[in-house]
Structure 1
Amino acid sequence: MVSLPGSWLPALKIPGSLFGRDALRDVVMPIELRAALALLTQEATAHLITMQFVARPEIFTHGRARAWLDQRIGDTQDHVALTDGHTLRAIPGLRNHMFFYPRGNPGKEAALRNLLRLAPELFSGLASQINGGIGYRCGDAWHRPSAMHLRLRQTPAMGVVERFPFSCAPLGPLGTRDIEPAPPDTPLPADRPIRYIPLSETALADTAFLRMVAQEVLRAIFGGPELVLLELPRPEGGAEVAGRIAAAVKAFNAIGVTFPRTESWAAQFVTAPPRDTPLGSILLHPGIPFWCYGLDFYAMAERIEVAGSGMASRFRALLSAWLERDVTLLRLGSTGWAARVTLSDTP
C-alpha cells in the first residue's frame, strides 16, 4: 500500500479510501513525486505485487475502520508513506517505509528537519527509508532507519530538452529576459567533455556551492577543458522556462562573482538532461532528487562528484551506495575553489 501526503488528495478523483494507480494518471504533479511513483510501480511490477493507494492512513489504526481495512487488503504487509516533510503517517501492524520525495525544496526540507526534531518517535518504527539517509536523535541515542535503494533503469521524460547560452546580464523589468534557445537538433560541441550540474532551489541557496559552480562556469567561458551544462531548477508549482532561467540568474548575481555580460555557449542552461550524450562528469548537490534520473543517465558519466555545504559527506556515502560505484567529494573553500576527496578518505 502507498499513501500520498494529504495535501494531494483534493486534487484527486478517488472512489473511496482505497484506490488504484488510475486515479493519478492525469494528475499534474512535480517530477520528483512522479519519479517516486514510477520507482514504486517498477518495484511492484518486478515482484509481481499489486499496488494500491490508501487515503488518510491515520484513520486506520484500530476499531471498525481498521477491521474494514484488514478485510480489503488481504495479506498486504508493507506500507510506503510518501511524505512532503510535514507529516509521517504509519499504519500499525504493517512494515512502514518512508519516502521523502521533494528533495531540493527548501521549505519541505525544513519541514522534515522540524518533524525530526519535534516528533522523532514517528520515525522509530520505520522498516526503512527509501533513497534517504536521515538520522535523528530520540532520547540519548541516535537512530538511522535502514536504507532501501530503488533505482529507475531509464530516465523518464522531463519535458522538452532546450539549451540556452549562459548569461548573467541584468534582467528586464518583469524579472525575466528573452534568450533564444539553440535550434532544435543542434548537436553539442564535441571538442571537450561535458560537465553536467543539475540545480535545485536548495542548491541555488547554497552560496558556497554556487560560488564553486560559478568558478567552473568562468573556466568554461574563458577556454577551460570542459563544457558546463546547468540543468535549470524546477520551483514548486511549476514555472515557465523564462522563470526558471530568472531564478538561476538571480542566484548567480547574488553571490558576488562577476560574469561577462555577453552570452556564452561554453556554459549553457538546459531544461532537461540530453539523451544519449556521453558526459565527462556529473556534479550533484545534496539537495538534488538523484532518484529522478535513471541508471542510464549516470552510466553516461566517467566520474560522479558531490559538493555542498552541510551534509555533503553523508550524501556522498548515500549516493555511492545507491549507485554502487565510487563517488568523489569536493570540499568547498571560501573562494569557491574545491579540493577532491576520494571515497576511501574519512569524511
Structure 2
Amino acid sequence: MTDLFEQGRLLISIPPPAFGQDLPDSTIFPISEQLVDVLDIGTARALATVMQVCAEQGTEVHGIARPEICTSDSMLAWLENQVGAFSDHLCLSSGQTVKIIPGKRNHLYLYDLHMRRKYEDFLLLCKRAPELVAQVVSQFNSALSLRGAPVAFRPTTIYVEPVRLEREPATSTLFEWWMTRSGQSELRAIEEADDVSFLKRDRAQTITYVGANSTALHSSAYVKLLARRLHHAFYYDELAILEIPPGAQEDRSGWASTLAGLLRSQGFKLPFLRTKSVLLAEGDILPWLLEQQGCDVELLCHFTDPIDRLFFPGPRAPKSIDIVADRSLLDREVYEDFLSTALTFRPLIHWTG
C-alpha cells in the first residue's frame, strides 16, 4: 500500500462523546493503546484500525480535540509549532459531526451509520453544511456517494483492513421469542446457552445471523428480506439469530414488539408457540458462532453496517453475505469495487432505491 498521509504525520480528531468522562486535558493529546481502551467501542475500533495502518507506514500520529479552532493563519502556525508540519487530518465521526482543518487534506472515517439517529444526522449535515463535506478528500472504509446534497459528497474511498476488538463478551444472553394471543412479544432467556444446546448437533445447520442495525430496519427492502429469512427458519427447522441493539436492551420486549410490527407489514407473523428457531441475542456472538463446527452462517447486512462486521481474518467465514444497498446513496461501481477489495468472496447485493 502506498503511503496514505503526506509528510509522515497525521492529526486525528475524535468526537467528544466518545471519551465519556475521560475528556483530554489539552487541545493536542497523544494517541495510544490506553486511549483506545477508554473510548466507546465504535470509536475504538475505528481508531485502532487507523493506528494499525499508521504503524505499518511509520506515520506519526497526534490527537486534536478541537480542529475547528484552527481557522486562522496564526492558529495553524501555533498548531504546526506543537506537532510539526503536517498535511493530513482525519476526522473520526459517528455521523453527527464532521470536523475539518482548512487548507489541509481532510479525511473522514464514518463508523456509526448503522444507528438510525446518527445516520439521519449525517444526511442532514450534508444538506445544511455542504461547505464542510466539500472539503473531505477521502472516506475510510465507506463508499458513500450523495448526489442529492447541495454539494455532492463523493470523496475517494480508501479501504484499510479493520481491527476487530474483542471487548465484548464471547457469549451473550440468548432469548426465545414468540407472540402471545394478545399480540405482545414474549421473551424467555435460554439458561443453557453456555452449553450451546440450542444448536442442533445431529446435522449440518444453517444459521441466519442479523446484526444490530436500526438504520436497516427503516428500509422496506431489508425488512422484507429479513421476513423471508425468518419465515424460512420457522418453517424449515433452521435457526435465525438477531442482535438486540445496545440502546434497546432495557426494553427488550418493547423493541421486539416494534420489530414484530415491521415484519407483520411484510406479511410475516411470529407464531404463538415457543420455539428455538428465532432467537434474540444481547451482544455480538458472530465470531463465536463461526467457530462452531457443523454450522453454516449466512449473514444478512445493510450497507450502513461497519466494514469490520464483514471482515473475517480467521480461518472461518460466513457461507454467504447478503447486503441491502441503496442506489440513492451509493455509486454501484464504486461500492462493488470497495467490497471486492475488502472481502475475500463476493457478497450478494440487493439494490434498492
Normalising TM by the smaller chain, what interval? Answer: 0.7 to 0.9
Distance in 2 (CA, whole Å) between partners of 1:285 and 1:92 is 33
- Judging changes above 3 Å, is the alpha-carbon distance between structure 1 residues 281 and 8 closer, same or farther for their aligned structure 2 residues? closer
- The aligned residue for residue 343 of structure 1 is none
Question: CA-to-partner distance for each residue in 1:58-84, whole Å, 9 max, x for gaps?
Answer: 112324322221012224332111123
- Judging changes above 3 Å, is the alpha-carbon distance between structure 1 residues 244 and 19 closer, same or farther for their aligned structure 2 residues? farther
Q: Which of 92, 95, 106 lines up with 1:82 in the alignment?
A: 92
Q: Quick check: 1:189 aligned with 2:200?
A: yes
2:209 alignment partner AA: Y
Deviation larger for 266-275 or 292-301: 292-301
Distance in 2 (CA, whole Å) between partners of 1:204 and 1:181 is 28
- The aligned residue for residue 215 of structure 1 is 228
Distance in 1 (CA, whole Å) between partners of 2:169 and 2:181 is 25
Q: Quick check: 1:279 aligned with 2:296?
A: yes
* Residues 87, 105 of structure 2: 8 Å contact kept: yes
- The aligned residue for residue 205 of structure 1 is 218
Distance in 2 (CA, whole Å) between partners of 1:120 and 1:45 is 33
C-alpha displacement of 1:230: 1.9
- The aligned residue for residue 6 of structure 2 is none
- The aligned residue for residue 24 of structure 1 is 35
Deviation larger for 272-281 or 282-291: 272-281
C-alpha RMSD over aligned residues: 3.4
Aligned sequence identity (%): 22
2:307 alignment partner AA: F
Task: Give the secondary structure class of the aligned counterpart of 1:287.
Answer: coil
Per the normalisation by structure 1, the TM-score is 0.80
1:234 alignment partner AA: P
Question: CA-to-partner distance for each residue in 1:111-151, whole Å, 9 max, x for gaps?
Answer: 11112122223222322111122224499984511001122
* Residues 155, 293 of structure 1: 8 Å contact kept: no
Distance in 2 (CA, whole Å) between partners of 1:62 and 1:110 is 31
- Judging changes above 3 Å, is the alpha-carbon distance between structure 1 residues 176 and 48 closer, same or farther for their aligned structure 2 residues? farther
Question: CA-to-partner distance for each residue in 1:209-238, whole Å, 9 max, x for gaps?
Answer: 2232122112212225x4322233233xxx
Distance in 1 (CA, whole Å) between partners of 2:62 and 2:323 is 36
C-alpha displacement of 1:109: 1.0
C-alpha displacement of 1:291: 2.5
- Judging changes above 3 Å, is the alpha-carbon distance between structure 1 residues 261 and 319 closer, same or farther for their aligned structure 2 residues? farther
2:241 alignment partner AA: L
- The aligned residue for residue 7 of structure 2 is none
* Residues 87, 104 of structure 2: 8 Å contact kept: yes
Q: Quick check: 1:227 aligned with 2:211?
A: no
Task: Give the secondary structure class of the aligned counterpart of 1:168.
Answer: strand
* Residues 286, 307 of structure 1: 8 Å contact kept: yes
Q: Quick check: 1:148 aligned with 2:158?
A: yes
C-alpha displacement of 1:186: 1.9
- The aligned residue for residue 323 of structure 1 is 343
Distance in 2 (CA, whole Å) between partners of 1:162 and 1:127 is 40
| Equivalent residue pairs, number | 326
1:1-347 equivalence runs, <5 A? 1-8=11-18, 11-21=21-31, 24-25=35-36, 27=38, 29=40, 31-137=41-147, 142=152, 144-152=154-162, 154=164, 156-162=166-172, 164-170=174-180, 177-186=187-196, 188-190=199-201, 191=203, 192-224=205-237, 226-235=238-247, 240=249, 243-244=251-252, 246-256=254-264, 257-270=268-281, 271-272=283-284, 273-275=286-288, 276-277=291-292, 279-292=296-309, 294-296=311-313, 300-307=317-324, 314=331, 317=336, 318-323=338-343, 325-330=345-350
Distance in 2 (CA, whole Å) between partners of 1:229 and 1:287 is 19
* Residues 155, 297 of structure 1: 8 Å contact kept: no
Q: Unpaired runs of 5+ in structure 2?
A: 1-10
* Residues 240, 277 of structure 2: 8 Å contact kept: yes
Distance in 1 (CA, whole Å) between partners of 2:252 and 2:272 is 19
* Residues 131, 149 of structure 1: 8 Å contact kept: yes
Task: Give the secondary structure class of the aligned counterpart of 2:179.
Answer: coil
